[in-house]
């Protein structure tokens, strides 16, 4: 009795599992092109450094440009630290 119950539980768990979606945004680029293939089917091309560059690629296509919410940004250089102003006596 245990084996059929365990088998049914295993089959139910396998059928209920859904695949996890992969990351669609590339964190190296600040702008992504969202290309529509159907009413609810679309994909992202994150390979653009500016909105103008993305808009040129989207021209004439069923696509739109979006800001990449996962953009890592450039590494900021450690700039000059400002000192406190000296008192004048």
Flag whether the pTM goes above 0.85: no
Distance CA 52, CA 42 (A): 21
Q: State the number of CA atoms in the 13 A half-sphere of 34 facing the CB.
A: 10
Residues 6+ apart with CB under 8 A from 26: 32, 46, 47, 68
- Tens-of-pLDDT digits for all 89 residues of the chain? 678 777 777 777 666 666 655 667 888 999 999 999 988 889 999 999 999 999 999 999 999 999 998 898 866 556 566 667 777 77
């Amino acid at each position: 009795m245990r084996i059929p119950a365990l088998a049914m539980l295993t089959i139910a768990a396998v059928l209920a599992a859904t695949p996890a979606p992969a990351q669609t945004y590339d964190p190296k680029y600040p702008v992504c092109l969202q290309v529509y293939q159907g009413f609810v089917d679309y994909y992202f091309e994150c390979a653009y450094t500016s909105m103008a560059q993305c808009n040129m690629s989207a021209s004439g296509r069923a696509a739109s440009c979006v800001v990449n919410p996962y953009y890592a940004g450039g590494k900021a250089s450690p700039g000059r630290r400002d000192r406190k102003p000296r008192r004048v006596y």
